[in-house]
Amino acid sequence: GRRLTIRDLARAKRRGEHWPMLTAYDAYTAGVFDEAGIPVLLVGDSSADNHLGYDSTVPVTLDELIMLGRAVVRGTKRSLIVSDLPFGSYEESPEQALRTAVRLMKEVGCGAVKLEGGVRSAAQIEKIVTAGIPVMAHLGYTPQSVNGFGGPMVAGRGADAAKRLREDAEAVQEAGAFAVVLEVVPAPLAEELTASLEIPTVGIGAGAGTDGQVLVWTDFAGMTPGRTPSFVKKYADLRGVLGDAARAFGRDVVGGAYPDAEHSFS
Ligand code: KIV
Ligand code: NA
């Protein structure tokens, strides 16, 4: 079997099919999602706060994302692997962006890269795409700019913001992006953009009208501690399951129930 490619996603758009995408940061978890038939896995810079213990996506380095991405590629067979370009690795110039994207393609072995920004990143997208590397764009709430926004927010609300988002979406399509993430965007606007764009849209907190849907895996699986954004649906309680297992193991060791004869060598 071969891996899925951007052509499969373009075909899905023509057929009006919806598809799921999850983040993955390690080989085992990525392998589970690959076996479950999730067509696209993102080595997101959300690994910064959801895997590496940072407070936001801002601190994660290219070397760190490369290490995680290599594990995800090794643990999967069929999914298209997309790797984020981390904050600071592409904003300076199209040349810097291409250098970063080339490192990800060579060292991770991913099938595509993703970066944040519309009009402001169009030259970067065009440079990378021209070199033969597929680029997924990312608009709406863009977490690498959390310090500029002053916190998480709904993007594209109000006539001016909606107009800017439409221009950004046109710009990334024009620059050659093969898909675009719409993060925390009003559902009617995301639906409108999905209808007007030729490339697939991938929503997160953007309603049901987008072509794909992406969630951060630790959120959807109930691994994230504390509150998750209101658009997240929890499909499992992994944190509860693992916590119960750890407590049971602890009780058994302290009480002498583990290891028993069955789990010992005579
Ligand atoms: O890093 C990430 O998880 C992302 C998705 C939310 C799209 O960029
Ligand atoms: Na990201």
Q: Supply the residues annotated as catalytic.
A: 183
Distance 3 CA to ligand 2 centre (A): 22
End-to-end CA distance of the chain: 45
116 is in an annotated binding site: yes
Reading the block at residue 51, the tokens are 């895997």
Residue nearest to atom 8 of ligand 1 (CA): 44
Per-residue pLDDT tens for 143-198?
A: 999 999 988 889 999 999 999 999 999 999 999 999 999 999 999 999 999 999 99
Domain count, the chain: 2
The Å distance, Cα 168 to ligand 1 centre, comes to 18
ipTM over 0.95 threshold: yes
Do 203 and 73 belong to one domain?
yes
In the prediction, which pLDDT does 128 show? 99
Please check if 45 is assigned to a binding site. yes
Domain that holds residue 124: 6-235
> Is residue 1 a part of any domain in this protein?
no
Cis before 259 (ω within 30) = yes
pLDDT for 10 beyond 80: yes
Residue 152 has a pLDDT of 84
The helix or strand, by DSSP H or E, that contains position 94, with its residue range, turns out to be helix 94-103
| pLDDT tens-digit series, residues 214-254 | 999 999 999 999 999 999 999 999 999 999 999 999 999 99
- Pocket lining: 45 vs ligand 1, CB cutoff 6 Å: yes
Tens-digit pLDDT profile for residues 107-155: 999 999 999 999 999 999 999 999 999 999 999 999 999 999 988 889 9
Output the pLDDT for position 86.
98
- 90, 152: one domain: yes
Is 211 assigned a ligand-binding role in the annotation? no
| Residue 12: band (very low, low, confident or very high) from pLDDT cuts 50, 70, 90 | very high
Q: Is the pLDDT of residue 1 over 80?
A: no
Is the entire prediction scored with pTM above 0.90?
yes
Same domain, 140 and 250: no
What is the average pLDDT across 85-114?
Answer: 98
The verdict on 215 and 231 lying in the same domain is: yes
Instruction: Indicate whether 250 and 230 sit together in one domain.
Output: no
d(CA 49, CA 52): 6
The pLDDT assigned to 116 comes to: 98
- pLDDT at residue 153, as a whole number: 86
The rounded Å distance from CA 196 to ligand 2 centre is 24
Give burial (CB, 10 Å; 0-12/13-18/19+) of 79: buried
| Residue 155 shares a structural domain with residue 39 | yes
Answer yes or no: do 223 and 244 share one domain: no
pLDDT of residue 213 exceeding 90, the answer is yes
Query: Which residue, among 88, 50, 83, 49, has the nearest Cα to 67 in the 3D structure?
Result: 83
For residue 119, what are its two tokens?
């009009």
Please work out whether the CB of residue 214 comes within 6 Å of at least one atom of ligand 1: yes
CA atoms of 265 and 259, how far apart (whole Å): 10
Q: What is the mean pLDDT of residues 33-45?
A: 98
